[in-house]
Amino acid sequence: MRIDAAIDAFADELLRQRGLSENTVRGYRSDLRSLADHLDGLGLHEVPPLPIDALRDWLYESSEAGLASTTLARRSASVRQFSAWLDLEGSEAARLKTPKRGGRLPRVVSHEGIGQLLTTLEGLADEGRPSDVRNLAVFELLYASAVRVSELTGLDIDDVDLNRLTIRVTGKGDRDRVVPFGRPAFDALAGWLAARPELATEKSGPALFLGARGGRLGTRQVRELVAGLLQEVPGSGPAGPHTLRHTAATHLLDGGADLRAVQEMLGHASLGTTQIYTHVSFERLASSYKSAHPRA
């Protein structure tokens, strides 16, 4: 069943058969429409399935957007109710929990872990297959720029300035921002731009990253790529492109970057949203202190 049709049918039952108020049903519908938009970006247009990783990323993105904890809790409950209504036996959605502010911190990959993954990708890219050259550039740019996966897949060739080492991205609310990247990402991007014609077709258009058939690379493919790589790295929590965003932000603050500069780089409307990474950095500092200081 198409997810839009399923949402309409679910809302109708809540209103007419269960007797819930119009305001309550409006809240359910709003939550599920937001989820549908997120899944649509992953190429998922029907239910089932409702993949748990996609659901978790949706909630984390909602949290990052600054939504109140009560709204996050309602969104989580809406999905569980929707899944139960769909009668998805054993559905992963039943395991969905609300991300708690001040509770579990975002997953962060160590410098060594990132280095190992990039070494693996560089080895594959050296073999010359266009898809492997692209994968290296995708991973490098996600980590270097801390952009969202939807921002990365939305990039066109003209959005990349190799002279200034910047990309122009369109974030939430159609807000544009310019984000810097480093020399390793430059090298990976230059390699991909040289290999891109091998995958390009008439339907490629200006898209920076291309899929196997020449169309614009989708968020689902990027998610699968990054999740597959991160499975090899120790750590708990969601394993996807958002993990690289969390990791990049934390490593920037670990290195002494200004909080407001990181806020601008991430495209956060509120400084408070960015401050979660200061807690991550403090925990890493405290851990290092306890293991290294003789009087800890």
Catalytic positions, written as ranges: 148, 172, 242, 245, 268, 277
Beta strands in the chain (DSSP E): 160-161, 166-170, 176-180
- In this structure, the number of other CB atoms found within 10 A of the CB of residue 225 comes to 20
Query: 177 forms bridges with which residues in the sheet?
Result: 169
**What element of type H or E holds 89?**
none
Q: CA torsion angle for 154, 155, 157, 161 (degrees, to 10)?
A: 170
The separation between the first and the last C-alpha atoms of the chain, rounded to the nearest angstrom, is 58
Cis before residue 51, ω within 30 degrees of 0?
no
Joined together, the tokens standing for residue 278 give 């200061």
Q: Is 216 helix (H, G, I), strand (E, B) or coil?
A: strand
Joined together, the tokens standing for residue 152 give 């990365």
CA distance 200 to 221: 17
CA distance 250 to 22: 42
